[in-house]
A and B are shown apart, each in its own frame.
Chain A
Amino acid sequence: MADVQTELRNKTVSDKPSLMNKELDHLQLCQWLTAVATDRDKQAFTRLFQFFAPKILRIAKGKFPNEAQANEVVQETMTNVWRKAHLFDQNKGAVTTWIYTVMRNVTFDMLRKVKSNKEDNLSDDIWPLAESLVTEDEVFVDHIENKKICDVIAVLPENQQQVIKGFYFNEMSQEQLAAHLNVPLGTIKSRLRLALAKLKKQLGESYD
């Protein structure tokens, strides 16, 4: 890695300064990609293509011995850049990071196809192009609070317990619960309402 950087630095010195800034012009790339996303701007897309396609091809040649497959990576990646540009969020990272993700995902799915004959395209699930950030409550489960709530739920009538547990603990939808318990949707809604009212009362009291 150090070697690469030294080499690049030397290059910068010898190259024409106007075109050969070592620093990527992130702002410019961002304007182009945003123009593709919002205005379907073909001119901006052409600029992105000029910038990225040769680099993607070089990287793809390192992964695929076959020239046609390397070209397919370029075509597929740039097509996805056009189709999925609206998933790019400039507040979450640079254009280069996003396009790298698109390229890595295309490469991963293609290699998987070659190796295992699977056409399941899992890459966008593994590395989403629109990344949602971790929400705190998912990570830090409050066990003491959970225990307290469980105690209160335990005194609810059985049918209300079922919907509360299904809805909040197993994250089933109301529709799924209705199907699962074989009762009308309206019944699920009213049981949920009743149970929540009781829980609120119980928990409120124990907090006083």
Chain B
Amino acid sequence: MINHHPKFELIQAYVNGDLPASVSAAIKIHADMCPECQEKILQLTEQVAEISFEKVESDEDMSIELSEQDADMLSQILADAEFLQTDDVVTAEVAERFVMFKGKNYKLPNVLANMEIGGVTNIGKLARSRVLLDEGEIRTSLLHIEPEGSVPQHTHKGFEITLLLDGEFSDKSGTYVKGDFIMLDGQHEHQPVSDNGCLCFTVVNDALHFTQGINKLLNPIGSLIY
């Protein structure tokens, strides 16, 4: 059962289109598995659409005559449309896409179908592929943890979003399942462990900071894992 959801402000920003593609994708993946959040998104979109299009600030809006500029644009769209009609049929179909980690094939959520995904880097029981979104300091990855694998205890300088695509993992706060949307920041410190293995979609905006004993030696490679 999904227990962790994006908070309201985040869903609102998602509906407004104000979030980066990486974070928007994480919310979309969650919403596809969470009827509750899907309903919230639907209602918020309806509301913001209503407000966007009901504001009538001047009579111009409703005038029957189009301005010259608008009329030009309209006739251009309709002229282009003649060409589009025959050879350009838009469909909502999304091709299925799979990704392979340690010999296991995973079907990717539709929202990732057209994203560029880099090669696999292995670090012990961890393996990750970068999702190449080119969003500056924000890094997005597919992170695979083999059974009994774990990410060493760490904290975050920025934020870390983890969306579980398959399997489960736990940390001191509890166990997480497929579809859970987990957002942590610098105040949190955790050590995710996966007994049976898992695949996550992760978004971080700064390197991980390992906090315990020998693992501190890993700090230079913190940005390699996530």
Interfacial residues, chain A to chain B (CB-CB below 8 A): 1, 4, 8, 11, 15, 19-20, 22, 24, 40, 42, 45-46, 49-55, 58-59, 71, 74-75, 78-79, 82-84, 86-87, 93-94, 96-97, 99-101, 103-105, 107-108, 112, 115-118, 120-123, 125-130, 133-134, 138-139, 141, 166, 170-173, 176, 180
Contacts and interface: CB of A to CB of B under 8 A. Distances in A.
A117 B132 CA distance: 12
Nearest to A136: B35
Interface residues of B, number: 64
Interface string B49-92: 11111111101111010100010011011101100110010101
Contact of B48 (A53, A100, A129): A100
Nearest to B41: A127
Contact of A54 (B35, B51, B60, B81): B60
B81 A83 contact: yes
A159 to B, nearest CB: 16
B33 A176 contact: no
Contacts of B59: 15, 19
Given A71-B73, A125-B113, A138-B33, A84 B16 contact: no
Contacts of B135: 115-116
19 contacts: A8-B56, A11-B56, A15-B56, A19-B59, A24-B54, A50-B70, A53-B73, A58-B57, A83-B81, A84-B90, A93-B45, A94-B46, A96-B52, A97-B46, A112-B21, A116-B133, A120-B116, A125-B113, A171-B96
A166 B105 contact: yes
Given A93-B42, A172-B98, A100 B53 contact: yes
Given A122-B115, A125-B94, A82 B81 contact: yes
B107 A100 contact: no
A143 to B, nearest CB: 10
B163 interface: no
Nearest to A42: B78
A125 B66 contact: no
A117 B35 CA distance: 34
Given A96-B46, A133-B38, 13 more contacts: A15-B56, A50-B70, A53-B70, A54-B70, A78-B73, A78-B77, A83-B84, A93-B46, A97-B50, A104-B17, A129-B92, A139-B2, A176-B98
A139 B1 CA distance: 8
B33 A139 contact: yes
Contacts of A53: 70, 73-74
Contacts of A101: 45, 49
Which of A46, A54, A94, A121 is the most central at the interface, judged by chain B CB atoms within 10 Å of its CB?
A54
B110 interface: yes
A24 B53 contact: yes
Interface stretch (B24-32, B118-126, B181-189, B202-210): B24-32
Given A40-B85, A116-B133, A52 B90 contact: no
B142 to A, nearest CB: 15
A134 B110 contact: no
A98 to B, nearest CB: 8
B114 A59 contact: no
Contacts of A130: 92
A104 B21 contact: no
A170 B105 contact: yes
A170 B107 contact: yes
B21 A122 contact: yes
